[in-house]
Amino acid sequence: MKAILRGMTMVSVLALGAAGAQAADLVEAPVVVAPEMFNWTGFYVGVHGGLAAGKNDYSLSGF
């Protein structure tokens, strides 16, 4: 009786172990690529303007 119970336990453990390994056989879904929103190729002209004005004296004449 113990041999039958031990044998049935081993069969059930092996069956459950093999059933759990089938989860890796799933089919991957195709990757959906989002459409391009901006096209950064082309001609570009950039203009920078600035003004540096102030009355600060940063000279080292005091040393």
- The pLDDT value recorded for residue 24 is 59
The token pair that represents 26 in the structure block: 């799933």
Per-residue pLDDT of 2-61, as tens digits, reads 888 888 888 877 776 655 555 556 677 888 888 877 777 778 888 888 777 777 777 787
Distance CA(63)–CA(53), nearest Å, equals 26
- The pLDDT value recorded for residue 22 is 55
- The pLDDT value recorded for residue 18 is 58
Distance CA(24)–CA(18), nearest Å, equals 11
Please choose, from the candidates 4, 24, 2, the residue with its C-alpha nearest in 3D space to the C-alpha of residue 12: 4
Report pTM. 0.28
